[in-house]
Amino acid sequence: MNEDINNLVILWENMHVNDAKFEEFAQKRHDGAEKIAKNAKEKGGPAMLSYHHFIVKLPYYKKAIAGKFNVDDAKKELKKLTEQLNDAVDGKVKFEQTDFQKKVGIIEVLGELIIKLQ
């Protein structure tokens, strides 16, 4: 019985260490994306595509930092977005460059957060 309790305590401690590492990862990625978006917006012109690519990532990082990132929901959203991107590439729907950058930015942030948790 004591061994079972010890194992549960170790498991619980490891879960919180992993949560902290994930949240720290998300914070670092958030800060980097925020900096890139700010710099791109200041440059303007063609750099605005980079702005749109990175600014859409911030809410996802914030959710992860707050411990509210749901992998199952993220996987569903990722699947939907990749299908939309495929439709655009196949010419089934029209995307502007800004739309493309936003979708790819979200696909990236979802993918990296999902992979980090696996």
Q: Which domain holds residue 84?
A: 2-117
User: Is residue 78 within 8 Å of 114, Cβ to Cβ?
Assistant: yes
Sign of the torsion formed by the C-alpha atoms of 110, 112, 117 and 118? positive
Question: Where do the H-state alpha helices sit in 44-70?
Answer: 48-55, 58-65
pLDDT of residue 18: 58
**Exposure b/e, 90-114, CB count within 10 A at least 16 = b:** eeeeebeeeebbbbbbbbbbbebbe
What's the structural domain count of the chain? 1
* Other Cβ atoms closer than 10 A to 72: 8
pLDDT of residue 11: 40
Instruction: Show the low-confidence residues of the chain (pLDDT under 50).
Output: 1, 6-17
- Give the whole-angstrom CA distance, residue 70 versus residue 113: 10
pLDDT of residue 20: 78
